[in-house]
Amino acid sequence: MKKLVIILVVLLSYNVNSQSFGIKGGVNYSNLTNEETIKSLTNAVKSKDARVSYHLGVFAEIPINDNFSLQPELLYSSQGVELDGLVKDGSLHLDYLTIPIMAKLYIFKPLYFELGIQGSYLFNNEFVIGKTKLFKDTDIFEKMDYSANFGVGVKFGKLSANCRYNYGMNGILDLGDSKISKKMEEDAPKNSVLTVSIGYELF
């Protein structure tokens, strides 16, 4: 994450006069891989469903030439899943501060394609079945999450629209040092998030 922050600072200090800065936000359709590991954390879960939530933040677009640019972002992203319980339903909420760094290729303007990486810091989580909070006295979730991102979008003047998929590259669990814990971490669920965003350049 520190390396991504350094890259972000370097990019924002590059060719400041030609950069554009804006705000963006939109819908998250988030899910987690490996349902069986989630069910093994508690015997109260029958299955999981995708969670619909949102993201919001700022971005900078840094042109390299007429058809290629870099876009670092700083976003709040609410993720997780909805849980179908054996008796009562619940949810797993994972709130991240994310830093995507995307390479954008304008092949047929206003259409562009993008590819990049993302580092995320988990600053809040809530695992609830009914009204009962699970693991409230322990922290079983990885603080850092990394993903590979790709997407497509359109840009008309200051307004842009984008659809992006984030594929988690590491598991979300941090369960300690026992052999059972290590096995569960190896099979740990990974974030899988489809986002739809609207962005607007402020200056």
Question: In this predicted structure, what is the pLDDT of residue 5?
Answer: 67
The two structure tokens encoding residue 144? 């850092």
- CB neighbour burial string for 6-26, b if at least 16 within 10 angstroms, e if fewer: ebbeebeeeeeeebeebebbb
- Position 37 confidence tier, pLDDT thresholds 50, 70, 90: confident
- Position 86 confidence tier, pLDDT thresholds 50, 70, 90: confident
What are the counts of helices (DSSP H) followed by strands (DSSP E) for the chain? 3, 9
Q: Which residue has the higher pLDDT, 46 or 154?
A: 154
pLDDT of 178 above 60: no
Q: How far apart are CA 157 and CA 139, in angstroms?
A: 45
Amino acid, single-letter form, for residue 40: S
- Mind listing the pLDDT tens digit for each residue in 111-144? 999 999 999 999 999 988 888 888 765 678 899 9
Question: In this predicted structure, what is the pLDDT of residue 12?
Answer: 59
